[in-house]
Amino acid sequence: MTSMDEFVRKQKAGARFVITARMLQLAPEDFDALARIWLDDGGPGFNIVGVPHRVVVDGEFVISRVTAIRTTAPL
């Protein structure tokens, strides 16, 4: 599997792409914490767009998938 930075670099500026917990080999709870940071501050070279997809884990909704848009910001 490629690293997150490599994956983002492969996207053209303005491209929309999906990032999932499974893709990063993270538990949904861990991905949720990371995705919340991206929602507030943006990710390395991308911003979150739209409404994140959530799943229920132990009775709580956690983010398991987000749609992102590639920015021109350096990684």
Q: Quick one: what percent of the chain has pLDDT higher than 70?
A: 93
pLDDT of 26 strictly over 70: yes
Average pLDDT of span 15-34 = 94
Q: What pTM, to 2 d.p., does this model score?
A: 0.86
User: What's the mean pLDDT when you consider all of the chain?
Assistant: 91
pLDDT at site 75? 61
> 8-12: long-range contacts at Cβ-Cβ below 8 A with a sequence spacing of 24 or more?
8/43, 8/44, 8/45, 8/46, 8/70, 8/75, 9/45, 9/75, 11/46, 11/70, 12/70
